[in-house]
Amino acid sequence: MDIAVVGGGIAGLTTALALTAEGLPCTVFERSDRRSAGGFGIQLAPNAGRVLDRLGLGPALDAVAVRPVARELRRWDGTLLARTELGEAATRRYGAPYRLLRRADLLRVLAAAFPGPVVHGRRCIGVEEFRGGVELRFAGGARHRATAVIGADGLHSAIRGCIAVDDERPTGFAAVRALVPADPGDEPRIVVRLGPGGHCVTYPVGGGLGNVVGILPADADPATFFAADSPLAGGVPAPLLDRPPLPKWHRGRLAVVGDAAHPMLPFLAQGAAQAIEDAAAIACALRTTGGFDAFEAQRRPRVERVVAAVDAGRHGAPATLPDHDWIYGC
Ligand X SMILES: Cc1cc2nc3c(=O)[nH]c(=O)nc-3n(C[C@H](O)[C@H](O)[C@H](O)COP(=O)(O)OP(=O)(O)OC[C@H]3O[C@@H](n4cnc5c(N)ncnc54)[C@H](O)[C@@H]3O)c2cc1C
Nearer to ligand X, 213 or 286 (CB): 213
Smallest separation, CB 259 to ligand X (Å): 4
CB of 274 closer than 8 Å to CB of 268: no
Calculate the CA dihedral of residues 127, 129, 247, 256 and round it to 10 degrees: -50
Please identify the residue of the shown chain whose CB is closest to the bound ligand X: 271
| CB 40 to ligand X: min, Å | 8
- Taking the CA atoms of residue 94, residue 99, residue 105 and residue 107 in that order, the dihedral angle to the nearest 10 degrees is 30
Are 50 and 330 spatial neighbours (Cβ–Cβ below 8 Å)? yes
**Closest CB to ligand X among 154 and 210?**
154
Q: What are phi and psi of 99, to 5 degrees?
A: -125, 145
The residue (of 104 and 286) whose beta carbon lies closer to ligand X is 104
The answer to whether residue 203 is catalytic is yes
Q: How far apart are CA 45 and CA 99, in angstroms?
A: 7
Residues that bind ligand X (CB under 6 A): 6-12, 29-32, 42-43, 122-124, 152-155, 158, 175, 213, 240, 258-260, 266, 269-273, 275
Give min distance, CB of 199 to ligand X, in A: 11
Nearer to ligand X, 30 or 105 (CB): 30
241: closest CA among 313, 193, 175, 159? 175
Give the per-residue SS3 of 77-112: CCCEEEEEECCHHHHHHHCCCCEEEEHHHHHHHHHH
> Shortest distance, CB of residue 203 to ligand X, whole angstroms?
8
Identify the active-site residue in 94, 98, 203, 328. 203
Instruction: Write out the catalytic residue numbers.
Output: 203
